[in-house]
Amino acid sequence: MPNRIFFFSDIDDTLIQTKRKTDFSKSTIVGAYTKEGEENSFFYEGTKLFIDTLMDAKITFIPTTARNRESYNRTIFANDKRIKYVILNFGGVVLIDGKIDTYWQEHIGKSYSKIMAMEKLNTLLLEVLNHTNVKLIVKIIDNFYISIYNKFNLDNKSILSEIKELLEIFIKEQSDFYLYENDNSFAILPNFLNKKFAVKYLIDIHKPLLTLGAGDNSTDLDFMNLTSFKIVPQKVQIALS
Protein backbone atom coordinates (compact mmCIF):
# COMPACT_ATOMS: atom_id res chain seq x y z
CA MET A 1 0.00 0.00 0.00
CA PRO A 2 1.48 3.41 -0.96
CA ASN A 3 2.35 5.85 1.78
CA ARG A 4 -0.50 8.17 2.66
CA ILE A 5 1.69 11.18 3.51
CA PHE A 6 2.44 13.53 0.61
CA PHE A 7 5.12 16.24 0.79
CA PHE A 8 4.82 18.87 -1.97
CA SER A 9 7.90 21.09 -2.12
CA ASP A 10 9.19 23.88 -4.28
CA ILE A 11 12.84 23.36 -5.25
CA ASP A 12 14.72 26.60 -5.91
CA ASP A 13 15.33 28.82 -2.86
CA THR A 14 13.41 26.28 -0.78
CA LEU A 15 15.61 23.19 -0.96
CA ILE A 16 18.51 24.42 -3.08
CA GLN A 17 19.93 27.85 -3.86
CA THR A 18 22.29 29.30 -6.44
CA LYS A 19 26.00 29.74 -5.83
CA ARG A 20 25.40 33.47 -5.33
CA LYS A 21 23.01 32.78 -2.45
CA THR A 22 24.83 29.86 -0.82
CA ASP A 23 26.80 30.24 2.41
CA PHE A 24 29.78 28.00 1.74
CA SER A 25 30.94 28.21 5.34
CA LYS A 26 28.29 25.52 5.84
CA SER A 27 28.55 21.97 4.51
CA THR A 28 26.90 21.77 1.07
CA ILE A 29 25.93 19.20 -1.56
CA VAL A 30 25.44 19.88 -5.27
CA GLY A 31 21.77 20.07 -6.18
CA ALA A 32 21.71 21.19 -9.83
CA TYR A 33 23.88 21.94 -12.84
CA THR A 34 23.99 24.41 -15.71
CA LYS A 35 23.42 23.36 -19.33
CA GLU A 36 27.20 23.18 -19.61
CA GLY A 37 27.38 20.72 -16.72
CA GLU A 38 28.77 23.15 -14.16
CA GLU A 39 27.63 23.05 -10.53
CA ASN A 40 25.26 25.98 -9.93
CA SER A 41 22.82 25.16 -7.11
CA PHE A 42 23.42 23.62 -3.72
CA PHE A 43 21.71 21.95 -0.77
CA TYR A 44 22.82 22.58 2.76
CA GLU A 45 23.74 19.16 4.14
CA GLY A 46 20.94 19.24 6.71
CA THR A 47 18.31 19.97 4.04
CA LYS A 48 19.48 17.07 1.88
CA LEU A 49 19.48 14.77 4.92
CA PHE A 50 15.92 15.89 5.73
CA ILE A 51 14.65 15.06 2.22
CA ASP A 52 16.46 11.71 2.12
CA THR A 53 15.10 10.78 5.55
CA LEU A 54 11.54 11.51 4.43
CA MET A 55 11.86 9.48 1.26
CA ASP A 56 13.56 6.58 3.05
CA ALA A 57 10.57 6.57 5.40
CA LYS A 58 8.39 6.09 2.28
CA ILE A 59 6.83 9.54 2.52
CA THR A 60 5.78 10.58 -1.00
CA PHE A 61 8.03 13.53 -1.87
CA ILE A 62 6.71 15.53 -4.84
CA PRO A 63 8.95 18.26 -6.34
CA THR A 64 6.60 21.14 -7.17
CA THR A 65 8.50 23.60 -9.30
CA ALA A 66 8.43 26.32 -11.92
CA ARG A 67 11.28 24.52 -13.71
CA ASN A 68 10.49 22.89 -17.04
CA ARG A 69 11.53 19.32 -17.79
CA GLU A 70 14.89 20.21 -19.31
CA SER A 71 15.79 22.32 -16.30
CA TYR A 72 14.44 19.77 -13.81
CA ASN A 73 16.56 17.08 -15.48
CA ARG A 74 19.63 19.05 -14.46
CA THR A 75 18.76 18.63 -10.77
CA ILE A 76 19.72 15.57 -8.76
CA PHE A 77 16.03 14.83 -8.18
CA ALA A 78 15.59 13.74 -11.79
CA ASN A 79 17.58 10.53 -11.31
CA ASP A 80 16.12 9.64 -7.91
CA LYS A 81 13.99 6.50 -8.37
CA ARG A 82 12.22 7.16 -5.07
CA ILE A 83 10.36 10.09 -6.66
CA LYS A 84 7.15 8.96 -8.37
CA TYR A 85 5.32 12.26 -9.00
CA VAL A 86 6.71 15.60 -10.19
CA ILE A 87 4.92 18.89 -10.86
CA LEU A 88 6.66 21.13 -13.45
CA ASN A 89 6.08 24.39 -15.34
CA PHE A 90 4.14 26.07 -12.50
CA GLY A 91 1.72 23.14 -12.55
CA GLY A 92 1.42 22.84 -16.32
CA VAL A 93 3.00 19.37 -16.37
CA VAL A 94 2.59 16.38 -14.05
CA LEU A 95 5.00 13.46 -14.37
CA ILE A 96 4.24 9.97 -13.09
CA ASP A 97 7.26 7.65 -13.04
CA GLY A 98 8.98 10.01 -15.47
CA LYS A 99 6.11 10.04 -17.98
CA ILE A 100 3.70 12.87 -18.71
CA ASP A 101 0.26 12.46 -17.15
CA THR A 102 -1.85 12.61 -20.32
CA TYR A 103 -5.11 13.39 -18.52
CA TRP A 104 -3.58 16.50 -16.95
CA GLN A 105 -1.90 17.40 -20.23
CA GLU A 106 -5.29 17.36 -21.98
CA HIS A 107 -6.87 19.44 -19.25
CA ILE A 108 -4.16 22.11 -19.52
CA GLY A 109 -4.35 22.10 -23.32
CA LYS A 110 -8.10 22.75 -23.23
CA SER A 111 -7.57 25.61 -20.76
CA TYR A 112 -5.14 27.29 -23.16
CA SER A 113 -7.52 26.87 -26.08
CA LYS A 114 -10.45 28.44 -24.22
CA ILE A 115 -8.70 31.80 -23.80
CA MET A 116 -6.53 31.62 -26.95
CA ALA A 117 -3.59 31.89 -24.58
CA MET A 118 -0.80 31.47 -27.14
CA GLU A 119 -2.01 34.38 -29.28
CA LYS A 120 -2.19 36.57 -26.19
CA LEU A 121 1.20 35.43 -24.93
CA ASN A 122 2.81 36.27 -28.27
CA THR A 123 1.22 39.71 -28.18
CA LEU A 124 2.42 40.31 -24.63
CA LEU A 125 5.89 39.08 -25.53
CA LEU A 126 6.19 41.65 -28.32
CA GLU A 127 4.90 44.40 -26.03
CA VAL A 128 7.48 43.60 -23.37
CA LEU A 129 10.30 43.52 -25.92
CA ASN A 130 9.18 46.81 -27.52
CA HIS A 131 8.55 48.80 -24.35
CA THR A 132 11.64 48.34 -22.24
CA ASN A 133 15.09 49.85 -22.69
CA VAL A 134 16.62 47.43 -20.18
CA LYS A 135 18.53 44.44 -21.54
CA LEU A 136 16.51 41.39 -20.52
CA ILE A 137 16.16 37.75 -21.48
CA VAL A 138 12.52 37.47 -22.55
CA LYS A 139 11.06 34.29 -24.03
CA ILE A 140 8.07 31.96 -24.03
CA ILE A 141 8.84 28.78 -22.09
CA ASP A 142 7.51 25.52 -23.60
CA ASN A 143 4.45 27.39 -24.94
CA PHE A 144 3.28 27.83 -21.34
CA TYR A 145 4.24 31.33 -20.17
CA ILE A 146 6.50 34.34 -20.70
CA SER A 147 9.76 34.39 -18.75
CA ILE A 148 11.54 37.70 -18.09
CA TYR A 149 15.01 37.37 -16.57
CA ASN A 150 17.02 40.40 -15.46
CA LYS A 151 20.30 38.56 -15.98
CA PHE A 152 22.52 41.53 -16.78
CA ASN A 153 21.57 43.87 -13.91
CA LEU A 154 21.44 41.55 -10.91
CA ASP A 155 20.41 43.23 -7.66
CA ASN A 156 19.77 46.59 -9.31
CA LYS A 157 16.59 47.40 -7.41
CA SER A 158 15.68 50.44 -9.52
CA ILE A 159 15.74 48.36 -12.70
CA LEU A 160 13.69 45.63 -11.03
CA SER A 161 11.10 48.24 -10.03
CA GLU A 162 11.02 49.62 -13.57
CA ILE A 163 10.45 46.14 -15.04
CA LYS A 164 7.76 45.31 -12.50
CA GLU A 165 5.91 48.57 -13.12
CA LEU A 166 5.92 47.93 -16.87
CA LEU A 167 4.69 44.35 -16.47
CA GLU A 168 1.91 45.36 -14.08
CA ILE A 169 0.56 47.73 -16.75
CA PHE A 170 0.34 44.85 -19.23
CA ILE A 171 -1.31 42.58 -16.65
CA LYS A 172 -4.02 45.13 -15.86
CA GLU A 173 -5.07 44.95 -19.50
CA GLN A 174 -5.06 41.13 -19.55
CA SER A 175 -7.52 39.71 -16.99
CA ASP A 176 -6.66 36.14 -17.99
CA PHE A 177 -3.06 36.47 -16.76
CA TYR A 178 -1.12 37.21 -13.58
CA LEU A 179 2.41 38.31 -12.73
CA TYR A 180 4.90 36.11 -10.89
CA GLU A 181 7.95 37.69 -9.28
CA ASN A 182 11.01 35.96 -7.83
CA ASP A 183 14.25 37.79 -7.14
CA ASN A 184 15.56 38.84 -10.60
CA SER A 185 12.96 36.90 -12.55
CA PHE A 186 9.38 37.59 -13.57
CA ALA A 187 6.81 35.55 -15.43
CA ILE A 188 3.47 36.28 -17.07
CA LEU A 189 1.19 33.27 -16.67
CA PRO A 190 -2.44 32.43 -17.47
CA ASN A 191 -4.56 32.28 -14.31
CA PHE A 192 -5.05 28.52 -14.60
CA LEU A 193 -1.29 27.90 -14.63
CA ASN A 194 -0.62 27.65 -10.91
CA LYS A 195 1.00 24.93 -8.83
CA LYS A 196 -2.09 24.78 -6.61
CA PHE A 197 -4.24 23.22 -9.34
CA ALA A 198 -1.80 20.37 -9.97
CA VAL A 199 -1.38 19.83 -6.24
CA LYS A 200 -5.16 19.67 -5.78
CA TYR A 201 -5.37 17.25 -8.71
CA LEU A 202 -2.98 14.79 -7.04
CA ILE A 203 -4.59 15.22 -3.62
CA ASP A 204 -8.06 14.57 -5.03
CA ILE A 205 -6.90 11.40 -6.79
CA HIS A 206 -4.86 9.85 -3.99
CA LYS A 207 -6.57 11.29 -0.90
CA PRO A 208 -3.52 11.19 1.37
CA LEU A 209 -4.11 11.17 5.13
CA LEU A 210 -1.63 14.01 5.65
CA THR A 211 -0.05 16.61 3.36
CA LEU A 212 2.93 18.93 3.78
CA GLY A 213 3.80 21.96 1.65
CA ALA A 214 7.11 23.83 1.43
CA GLY A 215 7.97 26.98 -0.51
CA ASP A 216 9.75 30.32 -0.42
CA ASN A 217 7.70 32.60 -2.67
CA SER A 218 4.38 34.24 -1.78
CA THR A 219 2.79 32.51 -4.78
CA ASP A 220 3.81 29.15 -3.27
CA LEU A 221 1.29 29.87 -0.53
CA ASP A 222 -1.43 29.08 -3.08
CA PHE A 223 -0.52 25.38 -3.02
CA MET A 224 0.84 25.35 0.53
CA ASN A 225 -2.56 26.49 1.82
CA LEU A 226 -4.03 23.24 0.46
CA THR A 227 -1.79 21.18 2.74
CA SER A 228 -2.06 20.18 6.40
CA PHE A 229 1.25 21.79 7.39
CA LYS A 230 3.43 24.51 5.84
CA ILE A 231 7.25 24.50 5.88
CA VAL A 232 9.07 27.78 5.18
CA PRO A 233 12.87 28.25 5.12
CA GLN A 234 14.39 31.16 7.01
CA LYS A 235 15.19 34.43 5.24
CA VAL A 236 13.02 33.85 2.18
CA GLN A 237 10.29 36.03 0.71
CA ILE A 238 7.44 34.49 2.74
CA ALA A 239 9.38 34.55 6.01
CA LEU A 240 10.40 38.18 5.57
CA SER A 241 6.99 39.50 4.51
The DSSP line for 134-198 is: S--EEEEETTTEEEEE-TTSTT-HHHHHHHHHHHHHHHHT-TTEEEEEETTEEEEEETT--HHHH
**What are the residue ranges spanned by the domains of the chain?**
5-92+193-240, 115-190
- What's residue 131's pLDDT? 66
Average pLDDT of the chain, as a whole number: 90
The answer to whether the beta carbons of residues 61 and 70 sit under 8 Å apart is no
With a threshold of 0.85, does the pTM exceed it? yes
- What's residue 153's pLDDT? 74
Cα 93–Cα 94–Cα 98 angle in degrees, nearest 5: 110
Query: Can you list the alpha helix ranges (DSSP code H) found in the chain?
Result: 45-56, 69-72, 102-114, 117-131, 157-172, 195-206, 221-224, 237-240
- What's residue 2's pLDDT? 55
pLDDT beneath 50: ranges in the chain: 1, 240
User: Domain 5-92+193-240 sits in which CATH superfamily?
Assistant: HAD superfamily/HAD-like (3.40.50.1000)
